[in-house]
Every structure is written in structure tokens, then in C-alpha cells.
Structure 1
Amino acid sequence: MATERSHSVSSSSASHRQDDVLEKQANESKEEPQQALGQVDLTDVDSDAEKKLKEANLVLTPGQEPITEQEFKQTLRRIDLILMPFMCLSVLLQYLDKTSLNYANLLNIRQDLDFTQRQYSWLGSIFYLGYLAASPVHGYFLQKVNLTRYLGLMILLWGITLTLHAAAFDYAGLVACRLFLGIFEAALTPGFILLTGRFYKSREQIARTNIWFSMNGFAQILGGAISYGVQVQKPSKLKVWQELYIILGVITVVYSFAVFFGMPDSPETTKIFKTDRMRMAAIERIRTNKTGLHDKKWKWYQCREALLDVRLYLVFLLIITTDIANGITSNFSSAILKGLGFDSKKTALVGMSTGVSEVVAIILGIVIAYATNTRFIPGVFSFMIAIVGGALVLASDERVTQVAGYNLIFFFPIGSALLYSWLSSAIGGTTKKIVFNVVLQFGYSAGNIIGPQAAGVAPHYRLGKAVMLAMFSISAFAMCAISLVHFVWNKQRDRAHEKGQDEPALSELADHTDKELRSFRYPY
């Protein structure tokens, strides 16, 4: 779906900034001629990353043919063919599994295990307490070990934990299961943000991030269908919600082995490429990102730089407000729809429509992002649509209008997807990326802990609907602020470039931060 480019030219005027500049300024300074694609001059740039690639015969030597545009395209197709299905299926299962409580509530788990509405709200929050506690631990291991092997292990553990939900015979057992489910699932999103940055160019990341993120919408459709299916089947010795947990848990356990053994980890190490030349092409493709290859060494100066970066706190503000709203919709979606007068079976079917809305919204967001060459325009647009939807739900007493408004609310996930693509393309340095990802997970967890507590009283949940309106407004502000910061920084770097104040050339594949690389330009 994305428009791909792999050429590089010199810095252009301010009207052609953002992703264009990120790719156009690679391998060039004011005094030196442009290199051919796939050609690395190690005499000009001294970096451990370049030396390791040379030792592994992963750079072209003098006399070898430069990598062609056709070879770059073939490499991209290979990456898409193998990596994207893994990412999409993983996100789909993650969303199904973490929101399984929402469907179990529809299937009378609360009545069967005899706990209150308040206790149900805490089950929604306890998942994210585990998520919050595990985020720094996952951040450490995602840098130090093989990323996809680690993710495969976490998927296996959360699949086992999900299956054990069926054996919970009281509220305490359910609390323990939800806590550990959150601990294990917390690894996936930061892992995928890092993985997207390792394999895709900045401009490509918009579409790819949105594609795997859109699986949340497909999961809502599939979850509604599964919920409806287990309700209409013939009764068995198990409770219906127990059958749901067993089905989802077993599928996840089986799938985890595919991730562990088959999902690619990085261009330098994966075995998915048929030739070394294709591997070289994969590495050269991401050179223009200027965010570097993965480095397992923790660098305190990058941590300090991240903590002093104003965007870190804007990212936290954006994600926590977005996920306060998400905490309401993901845990109370079925209850809110049922409060409009639908029975359990119809609620499951009507609930599928919110998944359709999210998928349509994300497709629209991708189109707007490429048409405007921005992230913030489709992001702010999505929050505005969600505000309109929330207002319709609050202001109207007509069931059809309320259902329509509730579906519009599900435009808001575009903002999160675009933020993820921002983080994979606008942050340089492995340690700095890890810090941003951990803070992102903190905000995500905190928002989803607060959200269920702000839902309000059944059956109408008016407080929750009002809270969502407020959160979407703040999210839109935070997204605009991040974009403004990027715009100002690009202007400052352009002026310095025009005055000849660029720093000495640094390798785009080395583990440098975006602040260190003065030729780096920020997408907005």
C-alpha cells in the first residue's frame, strides 16, 4: 500500500520536509559527491557497525555491481511476504486474548464466579498493572537477546495463562490469571515497534505499522463472531466462557512455536533472504532511516538524551490520554452496547461493527498520511471524528444514532498507530528507542488502569463517555505539539546546513541518536 523510494538527493527547501528529507539526504554532505546505492565507503566513516558488516561480507567491495532498484524491490517483497503475516497474526491474537474478558462478561462469567461490577472493573485494570510492572524488564531483554525468540516465548506463556482462565473457579484465580497475562503480553508492542524500524524505511513504516495495528479491528470482528458461535452451539459440560478461553488459549500456544522458529529478527541475522546480496539490499534499504542498526550495548548518554527530550513527555501525554479511552472501550464495549437494549447474541453481532469501523478508519488514515505526507493530520482527524462520535452517544436517546456514534469513536486508534510509526522512524539510537518504548508502555498501562475505573455506572456509562471526549481532545493537542517540535527542529537544522554548520559525517548504520546526526530530519 505504501509508495516506496530508495534514491537519495541533497537537502531541499522547507516545503519538502518530513519523510522525503529523511530519505533524500542519505549518503551526502555539502562537499562530497553522492555514492551509488549499495556502495559503502568505509574510509570516510569509521563505525563499529560498518566494520562488522564488512567482516561479515555484507557490504559491497570495489568492483562489485551496485544494488539495483529491482533488487531493492524484490527484497522488500520478501520482507513483506514473511514478516507482515507474523506481525498481523500476533497482534490479532494479542487483542483477542487481552479483551477476552470483555466477551467472557457477555457470556456470564461475572454471574458464574459471583463477583461485583466494581470487581470486574479491577479485572480490567489488573491486566495493565502486570503490563506496567513488566515493561522495564521487557525493555532490557528486547535489547539484549534475540527479539523474535523472546517474543515467541512470551506468546507461549500468555497462551498458557489464557487457557488457565478456564480453570479459575473464583475471583482470586481470575485476578492471578489477568495479572500474568498482562506481564507476558507487554513485550509485543515495543518489540514490533523496534522490528518495524529494523526492516522498513521511514516512509514504508506508516503503512506497515497501520496494517499490523489494524488487526485490532479484525480481532473485534472475529471476537464477536466467536462469542456468538459459542452461544448458539449445543451446551456442553463446560461453561461457555470456559470454552472461549480454551479455544483462544490453545490457538495462541500453537502459534507461539511458529513465531519462535520462523519470525525474522533483523536484516543482519535472519535466514529469510535467499542470497547474501539480498541481505545487503535489506541493510542498505534502512541506511536512509539514519536510526542505526541494533546495538545490544546499553549507552547511558542515550538514556540521558531521551530523558531530556521534550517529545518523551508529549508521547506519554498522548498515549495515556488515548488509552484511558481505550481502557473504557476494550473492557466495557459489550456492556455499553448491551445497555442500549440488545440481548447477548445481538450484542456480539453489533460489537463486530466497531471492528469494521476501526479497519476502515485505519485505511483512511493511511491514505491521508500519504496524501499529506504527514502523521499529525490523519492523527488529529481521527480524534476529531471520535469526539463527534462521543457527542452523538451522549446527546442522543435514539439507539440507531448511539450505535452510529459509538462506531465513530473507534476512529481514535489511528492516533496510536501513527504514534508507533513516529517512534520507529523519528528516534535514533537503540538505547534511546528502548527508553521511549518503556515510557510508551508506562503511559499505555497507566491509561488502561485508569480507564476501567472511569467507566461510570451501568447500564449507560455516561461518565465514561464524557471522559473519552475529554481524553480525545488532549490527545489531539499532544499530537499537534509533537509535530510542531519536529517542524521547529527541522527548520533549525536546515538553517545550520545552509550556513555550513553540519557536523562531520557519521555512519547512518552506526548506533547514533537523532540528535547526533545533524542530517537527520524528523517526520511530522
Structure 2
Amino acid sequence: MPDSTDTSLGGKPTEYQFEDARNAHYDEKHPDRESAAASPPSFDGVDEAAVLRKMDLRLIPMLSILYLLAFLDRGNIGNAKIEGLLDDLHMTGPQYNWTLTVFFFTYCVFELPSNLLLKKLRPSRWLPLIMVAWGVVMTLMGIVQNYGGLLATRLCLGVAEAGLYPGVAYYITLWYPRHRAQFRQALFFSAASIAGAFSGLLAYGIAKMDGVGGLAGWRWIFILEGILTVVVAFIAPFAIHDSPETAKFLTEQERAFVIHALRVQNSADSREMVQDESKFQMKYVIDAFKDWQIWLGLLMYWGITCPLYGISFFLPSIIKDLGYKSSTAQLLTVPIYITAAIVAVGAAWYSDRRKQRSPFILFFMSLIAIGFIIVIASTGRGVPGVVYFGVFIAVIGIYPAFPGNVTWLSVNLAGDYKRAAGMAIHIGIGNLAGAMSSNFYRSKDAPNYILGHALELGFVVMGMIAVVILRLSYQRINNKRDQIDPSEYPSDPDSLGDRSPLFRYML
């Protein structure tokens, strides 16, 4: 796709230019519809860069905080483990793995209904509501007395957190056109990287509270982080804006431009691509379940999220087992995650600039593979620094690849309800990778964890193959649609969404 960096919106944006002959033919065939070519919308005086800055400043900070807290609350069990959780609750290694695994069962099941509710209800109400729920569950996790209690709270945490990531990922598509989306996805997803770093620092500090109030340090990790989530949830409704149509921080002309840009973004010409989805119908969900690209994209997703969750749950333990004490292990996770966040944002900005997704995803997935190869080759050879370097490389690949894969699928689904359902299916079933990777790193395999690293590498290779197949499939369909004569268009091609001959998949 062409590399257009023109940000001037005085008139029609470069990426929305179209073939006059095609539209003329369409209008001749459908005289009841006003020609987009004859009267294109005018946005003279609207500065795209200024509009994007407004949206970024009003939307991204709060979304990032929400996801930082979600990822922090989901992964802090790894920090609690090395602070004595297993001993105090008299748990075995396999039991710990099960507490990680069951989270993803409920997390997967409840993502789709949550995303459909987000579409139907106001985001400014739904997102803070689920925040309160998981904050309360996290706080209660700090007072569990046995394995059964911890298992139950992890199941409840999966229910409460299910709607956040797919909800926010879908929410971003309601505001930004697809060639601008990955940078914003990376900005908010990089909060997960910061959460990884912040989790280590926070756990290191909170663990010093061991004995305060008669509670162990690991309990305070859960309690304080849960309370923080609830506090932020009560602030969130005032910082979340529901849609461009109701955004008071935009002028009327700016709102019109944003809405227009979103509607024409998928078309081969500049006519609006709008499906009638004002009311929910089950067919939109069925369409999503039947869409081949979601299931192929799922293999790509697993190739990234298996390493993501494996690292987030076990990185402190892996580093500790290299011979470092627990406090040092907590701190050594920080530079890994900070570097990954910076790389993720930079890569997403360049991907948006190039209007390409697959080359960047493939490159960073190759870094994940290289990282695990280094880890496997150097493990057990008395070179902990090299193992640490391999983990470093793998994480630098994981965090840029993840927002790329979510963005790539989301921009290739047309129709609001179908996109909401498709993203929930993609992310929901994709997060079963967390259930799988929770069992890759078994306590009996410490300190080498060869089996876990090898399984992660296998999933990465599978995901890279899926990326190549998905890219070639999109390319073949786009080329086929380029050859379709406009006279062969159905009576209302726009209503077909991403199956329309006007729709072009982003590569």
C-alpha cells in the first residue's frame, strides 16, 4: 500500500482518493444514490494532526492506565509466588499452575458477551464497572487461606477482567481509521510492558511490608493493588468518552471528519462502507464465527500470546532460578519491560506510516524465536547472563508483535457488531494460550525449563507460518477484487462489509 504521510485535510485526504470512472458507473447503475464523486465531503480547515492529538490526549492515557492495572492484577501472582505464596498456602507446583490456568477458562468464555454489551451500553459505564469487579476480587485474593480459595478467586478474576482488553481494542477502532490504529493500540498495550516493570518494582517495595497487620508480604501485593484498581475505577467514567459522535472535545466539523474517515477507510473508492448495524442481530456473531480469517489469525495470536503469558507468569522465577535472590530477580525484570514498551511504540508508529502490518509482525515474531533459541542453547551451561539476554530478545519481540496482530485482524473486519464479535473471538479463544503456557513451565523442570522454552518456540514458528498464509490469502483476494468489473457489483455492495468487492484487506 502506498506510503502517504500527507496530514493536510484541506479537502479530500490522499488515502481516500478514488477512480471517477468506477463511481460514475456505480451512480449510473444506482441513480437513487447521490454520487460521492459528484459531491465529496469538504473538510477545509480541519487539521488531521491536531484532531489526532486531541483524541490521543483524551483517550489513550486512561485506556493505558486501565490496561496497566488489569495486566498488573493478572500477573502479580508470579511476584507473589517468589515471596512465599506457595509455602503459606501449602500448595504444590502443579496446583500453582492450575491457579494460572483456570483464569483463562472464564476469561475466554466471557469476552464475547462483554464486547457485545460494550457495543450496546456506554463504554464510560461498562469499563469502570468491570474494573470495580476485578479490583474487589483482587483485594479478596489477599485474604485467601488455602488452595481452594485462591482457585476460586482466580476464576472470578477471569470473569471480571474478560471484557477489558477486547473491549478497549474494539473501542479504539471506533475512533481511529485503520492506518492510524496500531500506534494507538501499541500506546495502550505498552502499558502491559510498563505493568511488567512496575509489577517488579511494586512487588519489591510491598514485600517489605511482610508482617504488617499480621499479614505476609505477598498478601499485601494483592490487597494494595486491588484497592488501587477500585479507586481508579471511580475516576474512569469522567475520562472515558463514548464515541466520536458525542465527543465534546471535538468541534462539529472535526466530529464529521472523524466519522467520515472511519466509514470510507475500507473502500477501494471513497464511498462510505456502512453496514446497517444499529440494532444487534445474531447473524453478525454467526458471520464472525464463520469467518476464515479469524481462525487463521488465531494461530498467529497463539504464536505471540503463549510466550507473552509464559514470560509474564514465570519471568521472576526464571531469573531467580538463574542464581539471583528474589529481590534482585524482581528488579531485573524492569529493564526488559521498559525496553519492550519503547520498541513497541516506535514499531507501531512506523507500521502505521508504512500502512503495512504483516512484515512487522513477522519480523518481531522472528525475534521471539531467536530469543528462545538463545535461551535453550545457553541454559545449563553456566552463563546466566546469556540466558537473560535471550529472554530480553524474546520480550522485545513479543510486545511489538502483539498490538500488530490484534490491529491487523480488527482493521480487516467490517461492520461494528461483526468486528466486536470477531475481536472478542480472536482475543478470547486466543487467550487460551495463557491456559496452555501456564503449564509449560513446571516446577520439576526448574531451573532449566527446557520443555517450556521449546514449547514456546514451537508456537512461535506455527504463528509465523500463519502470518505468511494470512498475508498471501489477503493479497490473492485483493487482486481478485481488483479484477471485478463494477457492473458486476451487487445491488448494495456496502452492506456486505469485508466481503464487499469494494473492500480491500490491509496487508
Fold match (TM-score > 0.5):
yes
In structure 1, the partner of 2:438 is 452
CA distance in 2, matches of 1:465, 1:194: 32
| Structure 1 gap ranges (5+) | 11-19, 35-41, 51-61
In structure 2, the partner of 1:16 is none
Are 1:44 and 2:44 an aligned pair?
A: no
In structure 2, the partner of 1:328 is 310
The answer (yes or no) to whether the contact 2:299–2:463 under 8 Å persists in 1 is yes
Question: Once the two structures are superposed, what CA deviation does each residue of 1:100-148 show, in whole Å capped at 9, x if it has no partner?
Answer: 1011112111111111111110111111112022123213312322233
**Kindly tell me: are residues 305 and 130 of structure 1, through their superposed partners in 2, closer, same or farther at Cα, counting changes over 3 Å?**
closer
What letter corresponds to residue 403 of structure 1 in structure 2?
A: Y
Structure-to-structure mapping, 1:245-256, within 5 angstroms: 245-256=222-233
Are 1:127 and 2:103 an aligned pair?
A: yes
Question: Once the two structures are superposed, what CA deviation does each residue of 1:332-382 show, in whole Å capped at 9, x if it has no partner?
Answer: 111111111110110001111221242143135225524653211111111
CA distance in 2, matches of 1:164, 1:3: 50
In structure 2, the partner of 1:138 is 114
**Kindly tell me: are residues 390 and 180 of structure 1, through their superposed partners in 2, closer, same or farther at Cα, counting changes over 3 Å?**
same
Percent identity of paired positions between Structure 1 and Structure 2: 23
CA distance in 2, matches of 1:449, 1:482: 25
The answer (yes or no) to whether the contact 1:198–1:293 under 8 Å persists in 2 is no
Question: Once the two structures are superposed, what CA deviation does each residue of 1:406-462 show, in whole Å capped at 9, x if it has no partner?
Answer: 111111232221121123311101232133123213322311111111223222211
Structure-to-structure mapping, 1:386-401, within 5 angstroms: 386-396=368-378, 397=381, 398-401=383-386
Q: CA deviation at 1:31?
A: 3.9
| Structure 2 gap ranges (5+) | 267-272
Q: CA deviation at 1:331?
A: 1.5
**Kindly tell me: are residues 171 and 294 of structure 1, through their superposed partners in 2, closer, same or farther at Cα, counting changes over 3 Å?**
farther
In structure 2, the partner of 1:353 is 335
Select between 138-147 and 207-216 the one with higher mean Cα deviation. 138-147
Q: CA deviation at 1:43?
A: 6.2
In structure 1, the partner of 2:240 is 263
CA distance in 1, matches of 2:192, 2:256: 34
Match for 1:434 among 420, 423, 426? 420
Structure-to-structure mapping, 1:329-344, within 5 angstroms: 329-344=311-326
Q: CA deviation at 1:234?
A: 7.5
CA distance in 2, matches of 1:371, 1:147: 29
In structure 2, the partner of 1:13 is none
CA distance in 2, matches of 1:415, 1:432: 24
In structure 1, the partner of 2:270 is none
What letter corresponds to residue 394 of structure 2 in structure 1?
A: I
The answer (yes or no) to whether the contact 2:137–2:153 under 8 Å persists in 1 is yes
Q: CA deviation at 1:514?
A: 1.3
What letter corresponds to residue 351 of structure 1 in structure 2?
A: T
In structure 1, the partner of 2:147 is 171
CA distance in 1, matches of 2:373, 2:159: 35
Give the count of matched residue pairs. Answer: 487
Alignment TM-score, normalising by the size of structure 2: 0.88
In structure 1, the partner of 2:185 is 209
Select between 372-381 and 465-474 the one with higher mean Cα deviation. 372-381
Are 1:380 and 2:371 an aligned pair?
A: no
Match for 1:402 among 377, 382, 387? 387
Structure-to-structure mapping, 1:31-430, within 5 angstroms: 31-32=23-24, 44=33, 66-232=42-208, 235-237=211-213, 238-273=215-250, 275-290=251-266, 292=274, 295-366=277-348, 368-370=350-352, 372-396=354-378, 397=381, 398-410=383-395, 411-430=397-416
The answer (yes or no) to whether the contact 1:303–1:431 under 8 Å persists in 2 is yes
In structure 1, the partner of 2:457 is 469
CA distance in 1, matches of 2:9, 2:24: 17
CA distance in 2, matches of 1:205, 1:96: 24
RMSD: 3.1
CA distance in 2, matches of 1:108, 1:28: 69
CA distance in 2, matches of 1:437, 1:151: 17
What letter corresponds to residue 499 of structure 2 in structure 1?
A: K
**Kindly tell me: are residues 419 and 180 of structure 1, through their superposed partners in 2, closer, same or farther at Cα, counting changes over 3 Å?**
same
SS of the residue 2:438 aligns to:
helix
What letter corresponds to residue 402 of structure 1 in structure 2?
A: V
CA distance in 2, matches of 1:296, 1:183: 27
